[in-house]
Structure 1
Amino acid sequence: MRVIIAGCGRVGSSLAARLATEDHDVRLVDLDADSCRRLPANFAGQFHQGNGFSRTVLAAAGIEHADAFVAVTSGDNSNIVSARTAKETYRVPVVLARIYDPRRADIYRELGIPTIASIRWTVNQIHQMLLHRHLTPELAFGNGETVLVRSQIPAYLVGRRLSEFDVDGEIRVVEVTRGGRSLVPSHGTSAEPGDLLTFSVAATALNRLRDFLDKELGT
């Protein structure tokens, strides 16, 4: 997976180092050339000096072939501009943005960009969100212990009751979007072709949900 990270501070450099050790293709962008000193000496990724929303810099970092973009600079304005550029101009499949002012969360949400609170979230949570690529994070609660994620219904699940997907205390189907309309499933609601499911998931159970869907999807 190619990941471009805008911001080489403590979060950006730590995330980049972790992803690089997992053999992901990591490209870092930061306005401060000296920020690359935070990276380990054996860092296998690339570092590009410049703004995270500069098309010239992003092109040099290979954004046209990026699978994910993470904006974790020290400023909300820079993060939202760079995240919007990645999402709207380059159509990067997964875009995440760090947020300092929670009052701006609605702006990101309206743009369809999941946010990471600078204090409450850690590199581990960002790492999880990047790797759950077929699940779209919608909202986080508390300190990120519970999240809402969405997934298109795989063909093999059509006809099965949605209550069968629940795991007590970990995973629950809380909403279904069907034919452009939303409904709260009852115990007897069955999956239909084209359903988009919303799961309420304990953050510690994201791997369980991902492994279940990946296994059945044959990936």
Structure 2
Amino acid sequence: MKIIILGSGQVGETLAKNLVGENNDITVVDIDVSRLRQLQDKFDLRVVQGQGSYPRVLREAGAEDADMLVAVTNSDETNMIACQIAYLLFKTPNRIARIRSPEYVREVDKLFQPTGIVIDHLISPEQLVIDYIYKLIEYPGALQVVNFAEGKVSIVAVKAQYGGALVGNDLASLRERAPHIDTRIAAIFRQNQPIRPQGSTVIEAGDEVFFIVASQHIRTVMSELQRPEKPYTRIMIVGGGNVGSGLALKLENDYKVKLIESNLSRSEELAEILHKTTVYYGDASDQELLAEEHIDQVDVFITLTNNDEVNIMSAMLAKHMGAKKAMVLIQRNAYVDLVQNNTIDIVVSPQQATISALLGHVRKADIVSVSSLRRGIAEAIEAIAHGDKSTSKVIGRTVEKIELPPGTTIGAIVRGDEVIIANSHFIIEQGDHVIMFITDKKFIPAVEKLFQPSPFFL
């Protein structure tokens, strides 16, 4: 596939890295020559220096015969105009744009349509992060919650802990402990190394366990792997930007929410917008302020400013002063591994959330959704099976007969409204939504090929 990426920032670079490794023809466009040179040194791709919305630059990038344009520059306006020009001048068949401002997102139904700004898929990082954090609050103790098939089935990551009934026991005992709930352990990471889950595999404290289950049974399975946590009630948010204010707005009807904002005028504005959230003007690293607001009674302390260092340090202080959980937004990938699993309980990466949404649109075959897991090391994919037994490598075959690439697990199948946790004897049918977990991303092209029907396959 020939893909043009506008923007060589962290999202553009991460996307290029993912797609170059899957035998795509990638061209990256940016005005920053030094960034483009760095990308060329790292990856096998073309670069074009220039403003991504200019027709001349798009033509030089190969828009006339490109399969897809992905606009992820820091400017919403550039992204929108580039997609419109690609459609009008070059008939580029697929156009994706990252749109960050809520002012545009709020009018999405009116702006982005065939008679308006012609964008096929709009990615809003702020909303993706809000939804991501909301799920973690909804399921206390989860490290990641990813929904598939319109929310019918989920993949959940948890850290196994002493107090969980399954810890110290083999996986086969899960069936005995929860006979009425169908679930599957998709992957286990022990000391950052993947372990193939088998019935005889013993769960150890500290294991990062990914399980697949019908969404209504998430809490039951979690309780087998760690001591059940009480539902969160008190939440403190640091940062009143688009993400912080949007999250507070989504939470304030069901939780007791406090928000700290360091800009006076913004804090006053938020006090008008948020009706049930208590807004404070102040510094989140002010120990006196945290003590006065009873930080030791806060269930989750969430830092969402655009400064990684502020987020990390204020979260560490809050934990030191008694906050039960600390959740931190971090932009720089280099910081993620440094702080995860230490004082900080959960790190949220807007880049990974955005990449997951983008990959769902650029994968080959009929890939409905993609979720980047373990900070990009692994992926979960929802693919639709098409064809018949003569044209497909999966339809009409049992799960055990499908030649899955190494490190790939079929965890669940959604057929209509029915969620079926896969077993070795289950037969895939036309139209099934197949949810897979892939521990090694280099095999993703092989998974895509598996779900591409061919008239020549016998």
Amino acid at match of 1:123: I
Separation in structure 2 between the aligned mates of residue 109 and residue 133 of structure 1, nearest angstrom: 25
Amino acid at match of 2:108: A
Q: 3-state SS of the aligned residue for 1:39?
A: helix
Greater gyration radius = 2
- 2:452 matches 1:214: yes
Q: 3-state SS of the aligned residue for 1:80?
A: helix
> How far has the Cα of 1:112 moved from its partner?
4.7
> Which residue is 1:11 aligned to?
11
Separation in structure 1 between the aligned mates of residue 33 and residue 55 of structure 2, nearest angstrom: 18
TM-score normalised to the size of structure 1?
Answer: 0.62
Q: 3-state SS of the aligned residue for 1:29?
A: strand
TM-score normalised to the size of structure 2?
Answer: 0.32
Gap regions ≥5 residues in structure 1: 138-152, 157-168, 175-196
> Which residue is 2:121 aligned to?
114
> Which residue is 2:202 aligned to?
none
Flag the 1:33–1:18 CA change in 2: closer, same or farther, 3 A: same
How is 1:69-88 mapped onto 2 (pairs within 5 angstroms)? 69-88=69-88
Amino acid at match of 1:55: P
> Which residue is 1:124 aligned to?
356
How is 1:18-167 mapped onto 2 (pairs within 5 angstroms)? 18-36=18-36, 39=39, 41-101=41-101, 102-106=105-109, 107-110=111-114, 111-119=118-126, 120=128, 121-132=353-364
Q: 3-state SS of the aligned residue for 1:48?
A: strand
Separation in structure 2 between the aligned mates of residue 108 and residue 213 of structure 1, nearest angstrom: 31
Amino acid at match of 1:130: V
> Could you tell me the percent identity over the aligned residues?
27
Separation in structure 2 between the aligned mates of residue 130 and residue 88 of structure 1, nearest angstrom: 21
Give the 4+ runs in structure 1 shifted more than 3 A.
Answer: 132-137, 169-174, 199-204, 210-213, 216-219
Q: 3-state SS of the aligned residue for 1:74?
A: coil
Deviations 1:76-120 (A, max 9, x none): 111110011112321112211111022243322453521111242
> How far has the Cα of 1:212 moved from its partner?
8.5
Q: Would the aligned equivalents of 1:94 and 1:133 in 2 still touch at CA under 8 Å? A: no
Amino acid at match of 2:90: Y
Separation in structure 2 between the aligned mates of residue 171 and residue 73 of structure 1, nearest angstrom: 36
Q: RCO (CA 8 Å, sep 6+): is it higher in 1 or 2? A: 1
Count of residues in correspondence between the two structures = 179
Amino acid at match of 2:363: L
Separation in structure 2 between the aligned mates of residue 12 and residue 93 of structure 1, nearest angstrom: 20
